[in-house]
Every structure is written in structure tokens, then in C-alpha cells.
Structure 1
């Protein structure tokens, strides 16, 4: 290799490519070569590497911090894959519309008796995925599911929580964080994706982080006041979903059933209590109320253990600005 060339290693979707360029080549030249190798158009490419700088495509590689021997991660979908994702999203939306229409049926319109207008401000006012990351439509659907989760809606109304923006954290930009609350509710950012961008984290785990970050709407430090309110939110979510599991719960004339994540959480708690206990605790003589109390207690103990990990990976702090980690 001559001294006038540089060699790079580019990783895209578990595939590794060796790229050789002239030393005075531009970022655009690199992107064009990567487009030929991966079928990802230059305008959809996201290059991640140590020492990255925000520069124009016409800038030389050296100006962009791209030097010989550098390893670069390429994010981006080929155009054919994007078309497939859009079509799949379209088909999924069509199925959801059909199911919703069947669920509603020709029933008479129910007039709401609840103070819905009074609660209109206690919600997430804007939802926004990161468009430069893979599968933004899936991320947006996950954020909407969180915002519309009946248990989350319930605690936001009960505690009068209002959040300006619900969005996501990019793992490579905030590797040590699971959640971040900016300026007591101006924006909440959640880690939705796995570290390798090959999927999304479990819904129940993300929702627990959301409860943690909602607590920062009131308390900044992770002190006793914070822990008390956060525990209360987790308890209210568990109790609300337990009630929905046992009985259909009506809010403003509309019937809701528990989310799949909530049902999974209660099922897990049931196994923990009934499978891990013995003697009188699993006796058929136990009352329904006692059994429910044990399930709830087991759920809360598990949440408390997991909360410490969430706290360790929380970037929220009192009076932080938009650049805080």
C-alpha cells in the first residue's frame, strides 16, 4: 500500500468491508463506494466512528477525522428494504384499522361523564423517533404504545404529569443511559434499541424506565422523595393492571383491557409467588385477596431490584440543560 492511500474497515449489518481510498478523497467518495457495496444510498447513510465531526460530504477525509486503519459503523437501509418496510407498515396499519372497526361495532355512542377536558394537558404532547436510525416507523409505534398505555395514561392523569416531547436515545450517542428527563418534563428520552441496533428492548423494561423518568418531573435527585414517588408509580401501574386483569375497567365510558406487557408482568409475578413458595402459601385454602396481595408484593419486589439498575443508568439531574447527560 502506498503512502498516498488509506485503508478503512466498514461494518454494516454484521458484514465487514475493506475500503481503500486516496488520501485526499472526500467523504462523498467514501459514501459512493459504500453505496456500491451495501446498496445504501449516500443520503441514507449514517457513519459512526471515533472522533466523528460534522462536515459536508465535499470535505476531505482528514477534515472529517477519517484516518488510515479506522473502523466505521454504517447505519442505513438499502432502498429495497425501505420499500419493504413501508409496505409492511401499510399492511399492518390496515389490519389494525380493521380490528378496531370490528371491536367498536355498531354500538351506540357513549357520552363521557369524566372530566376528559381537564386531563387534556396531562399527556405526551409530541412523539418523535430518531429518523436517522434504522426502522423509525417501528420506534414511533413503540413510543405511541407507551404514550397510549392505559396504565401510563392513568398515572399521568392522577399525578398531573405533562411531557412536551417523548423521543428516543441513540445507544451510540448515550451508551451509559437508559433514560433522560430534560427540564422536568420538557422532554423524556428513552433507550428503545439494543446496543447493536439489531432490535428493540423489551416493552416492560422500557415502560419501567419511563415511570422512573416521569418521577423526575417532580424530583430531580435520586433521594428518598424520589424513591417514594417512583415506588408509588410502579405500585399504581401494577395495581391498575391487576384491576384491569380481574375486571374490565371503564374510563370516560370506554372499556380498556390490560396491555400485553402488563399481562406478562402479572403472569411472571404469579409464577414467582406460586412456584417459589410452599406449604400454606400455596394452599388451596388461601383467599383470592391473599393470593392477589402476594402477587402484587412479588411484582413490587422485582421492580425495586430493577429500579437500582435504572437509577444507575439515568441521565436526569436537577436544573439540567439540553446538553446534560
Structure 2
């Protein structure tokens, strides 16, 4: 008999069946995004604004916090000064830092951002940052703390100096944050990200309306992906004595305990019963449910994280 421990019925839902954002009986109404905290964990009901981030301490002792928000914007916080840019501006800034590191000196690049006006049209471009080569691969970055700064004011802003190793750590943190994704799985929102300790993380709204997380180490993630492939294919090619088809449920051992992977209905189907379930077998602290029409996006998000983890050298999908 199939058992689903994650109690979806305990979570308030809107008319479309998604996790509700307001109207929890007997509790304060949650907002769409709970306030961010330095630990990047939610401090109340609902999903946090920040999906993933990184903290970098430079060789000179400066602290950089990089946070990727669910809407694609990126916040850079340096020594108490915080600026938020759209995805395109943040990407350009990182590219200019890489370019500047190749020059000894006499290189500077102005990074501009284009705000969107109330009518949805692009506004007037504004200076966002100044990147300069400082020699020996070092780079200085000046971030505009307020919109509309003049070039002179930005040039006089105190810089943050990045050595080659600082740039490497910043680049790795940015790549990790950029690979994180917030997905609409049908039943609710799900964050997928790489954790600090070489893990694959998942975050969603739990039974009490607050965000919960589970993280799998590399070997557990490889087992999880294999189990998903088995229920997708309907058979286990590594089990010569198993059935040739009809396999819809697989239990695996992970660092987070025993996990059940189950496929109901059709893979990528559009019916209400077409769902992928990833559930803990012994408790209900978390549970991932993906509707059929969201399963492709879910698979692509996991693949992006796997490729990045493989590139970092700590993940091998064949090491189960």
C-alpha cells in the first residue's frame, strides 16, 4: 500500500490549490516574503525573499554578502553598504571584474543599470559601479550606494579591493547563487540550491506555514536522481531480477533518512493525479510534490545544480 506522510491537507491553500499566502486561521496573515535575515533563513511564515547566497571575506578583511532573490535581483552588501541590481546588471558587473583582472593597470569600466519606469518602459541608464584594474591581477570595485550618482561621486566612493583569490571566491559564490531557482511545482513553491557544505538543498513552506529545508549530500543526491529515473522509466536497469515495467515507487537511504520517491499517473502529464512525490518515510517534517506539467522544469533545475557541483569536483552521479 502506498503511503504519503506529508500532510498537504494541513497547509492552507488558495483556490488554485497552491500554498496560501494569507488567511491562516488562528494566526497572523503571512506576507509573500518574510524579512531577510543575515542567516538567509525565513523569520516567519511564507518563503524568504532570498533563495541562495554567499559570504566572502577578502584578503584585506572586507566582508561581502551576495544574495540572489526569487525575482532574479542580486544584492551585494559590502561593509554595511547594500545595493541591489537586476540580473543583467549583476552579470555585467561580474564580467567587468573578470576583464579588469587581466590588465595590469590603466583599465576601468563603468557599469550601468537601466531602471524600469512605472509604465514598464526602460528608464534613463544610471551608474551602478566602477571597476578598475589595480595591477598583479587585483581589482577595485566601487558600488553606487544610491541611484543617480555622478561619475565624480562614484569615483570618490571608497572601493573594495579584490585579490585574485577574492575574485575566485566571489565568482564561485555568484555562480552558485545564480544556479539556485525558485520553482512553482503546482502544489506550492520550491527552492533548489547548493548548500554551503557541498549539499543539494530544498526549501518549501511546511505544514505550519513556515519555510522548511532539507539538504542531501552528494551520494544521497545521486541516489535520489537514480530513483527519479527509475520511476520515470518504470524499471530499474541496475536490478536484473526486478520487473520490466510498472515500477512507480522506490525507497532510498540518504543522509536525511529513508526517502520514498513515487510517481502517480503520467510523467509530465497534465491531469490532477499526475504527480511526483519525494517524501521522508518516517516523519513529515518536509515533503516535495511536483505536478506533471512542472516536472520538466524541476528536472532541469536539478540538472543545473548537478552540473555546477560536478564542475566544482565534489559530485559524481555514478557514485551512489
Q: Assess same fold via TM > 0.5.
A: no
More helix by share: 1
More strand by share: 2
| TM-score normalised by length of structure 1 | 0.22
